[in-house]
């Protein structure tokens, strides 16, 4: 794991290196870069894969007091990450709230992004998404201390598996979920960041409706990968996104919940590789 100093603070990131075309993979709320470990193991054969741990509640370095932790602010942090590492023709991939960040960057027209992959993610009016997102939006109104007490319940697996927690987000990834929650349980400064981030992220619940209006102007290759059994991100949203995008394609994945990188990593990696190779040939 490497570190980079950005305007908001220190960010950890995974970088496989190599001469392959760059791919940057973004995670969602209360997750870190390890969401992508298994897909990266497949994709790094012919891509340079980079996965930053964004300040979305599972990060390990406290952000600066003046850091903008709203969704547009974190999208700008991703753009800064691309600039600082001087990445070009990037395949930008996002799952869960990471996909919302990708949509915001698509609307801003980042010149460094060559193609995008949206993987079962927040979209349209599904923000906060599902029971888990609505629960996070409510708990973000608590004080950091009370938020920490609430999150401490997730030390127990039965609570983590509830629909209001991670139960409808992943069918197979509980070990990863427990690891993600470690900083919240153990670092008061991360709890403070998490509360500040949740309040800022959900301050504008119409943000992705506005972003959707700009998606038809994204004229670069786009792949939408959606879990056909998703209970948090409606499958019809995947179809709508693919239809909105001028060069959009849709792949549906069975036997998976929202976090396809955990539940079906090999299928996801193969779909992404087929897409990047086809767009490169085109």
Query: Could you read off the pLDDT tens digit of each residue along the chain, which spans 282 residues?
Result: 899 999 999 999 999 999 999 999 999 999 999 999 999 999 999 999 999 999 999 999 999 999 999 999 999 999 999 999 999 999 999 999 999 999 999 998 889 999 999 999 999 999 999 999 999 999 999 999 999 999 999 999 999 999 999 999 999 999 999 999 999 999 999 999 999 999 999 999 999 999 999 999 999 999 999 999 999 999 999 999 999 999 999 999 999 999 999 999 999 999 999 999 999 887
Instruction: Please give the backbone phi and psi of residue 224, each rounded to the nearest 5 degrees, phi first.
Output: -115, 120
Reduce the DSSP state of residue 186 to 3 states and report it: helix
CA 251 to chain centre: 18
Residue recorded with tokens 């949203």: 237
Q: Please list, in sequence order, all residues whose beta carbon lies within 8 angstroms of the beta carbon of residue 101, skipping any fewer than 6 positions away.
A: 26, 54, 71, 74, 75, 78, 94
Q: Are 214 and 106 in contact (CB under 8 A)?
A: yes
Q: Please list, in sequence order, all residues whose beta carbon lies within 8 angstroms of the beta carbon of residue 19, skipping any fewer than 6 positions away.
A: 48
Q: How many CB atoms lie within 10 A of CB 68?
A: 17
Which pLDDT score, from 0 to 100, does residue 45 have? Answer: 96
Distances (CA, A) of 253 to 7, 44, 53, 123, 179: 37, 21, 25, 18, 25
Distances (CA, A) of 175 to 8, 27, 58: 29, 16, 14
Q: Please list, in sequence order, all residues whose beta carbon lies within 8 angstroms of the beta carbon of residue 109, skipping any fewer than 6 positions away.
A: none
CA 43 to chain centre: 17
Which pLDDT score, from 0 to 100, does residue 226 have? Answer: 98
Which pLDDT score, from 0 to 100, does residue 109 have? Answer: 82
Which pLDDT score, from 0 to 100, does residue 34 have? Answer: 98
Which pLDDT score, from 0 to 100, does residue 281 have? Answer: 83
Distance, in Å, from the CA atom of 253 to the CA atom of 236, rounded to the nearest integer, reads 13
Q: Are 229 and 123 in contact (CB under 8 A)?
A: no
Distance, in Å, from the CA atom of 136 to the CA atom of 123, rounded to the nearest integer, reads 17
Q: Where are the domains of the chain?
A: 2-128+204-281
Tokens encoding 248: 């959009």
CA 162 to chain centre: 21
Closest CA to 156 of 146, 143, 169, 165: 165
Answer whether the bond into residue 88 is a cis peptide, omega within 30°: no
Which runs of E-coded beta strand occur in 128-282? 222-227, 248-253
| CATH class name, domain 2-128+204-281 | alpha beta
Q: Are 40 and 50 in contact (CB under 8 A)?
A: no
Distance, in Å, from the CA atom of 223 to the CA atom of 209, rounded to the nearest integer, reads 19
């Amino acid at each position: 794991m490497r570190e980079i100093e950005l305007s908001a603070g220190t960010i950890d990131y995974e970088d496989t290196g190599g001469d392959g075309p760059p791919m940057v993979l973004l995670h969602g709320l209360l997750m870190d870069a390890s969401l992508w470990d298994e897909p990266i193991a497949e994709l790094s054969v012919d891509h340079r894969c980079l996965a930053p741990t964004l300040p979305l509640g599972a990060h390990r370095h406290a952000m600066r007091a003046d850091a903008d932790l709203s969704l547009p602010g974190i999208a700008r942090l991703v753009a800064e990450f691309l600039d600082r590492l001087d990445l070009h023709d990037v395949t930008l991939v996002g799952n869960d709230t990471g996909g919302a960040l990708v949509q915001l960057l698509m609307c801003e027209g980042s010149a460094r992004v060559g193609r995008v992959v949206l993987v079962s993610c927040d979209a349209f009016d599904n923000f906060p998404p599902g029971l888990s997102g609505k629960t996070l939006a409510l708990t973000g109104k608590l004080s950091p201390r009370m938020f920490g007490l609430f999150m401490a319940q997730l030390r127990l697996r039965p609570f983590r598996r509830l629909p209001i927690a991670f139960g409808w987000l992943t069918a197979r990834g509980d070990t990863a979920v427990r690891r993600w929650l470690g900083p919240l349980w153990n670092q008061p400064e991360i709890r403070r960041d998490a509360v500040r981030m949740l309040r800022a992220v959900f301050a504008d619940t119409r943000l992705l409706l506005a972003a959707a209006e700009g998606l038809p102007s994204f004229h670069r290759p786009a792949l939408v990968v959606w879990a056909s059994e998703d209970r948090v991100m409606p499958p019809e949203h995947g179809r709508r996104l693919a239809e909105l995008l001028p060069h959009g394609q849709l792949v549906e994945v069975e036997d998976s919940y929202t976090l396809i990188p955990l539940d079906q990593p090999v299928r996801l990696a193969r779909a992404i590789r087929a897409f990047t190779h086809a767009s490169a040939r085109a």
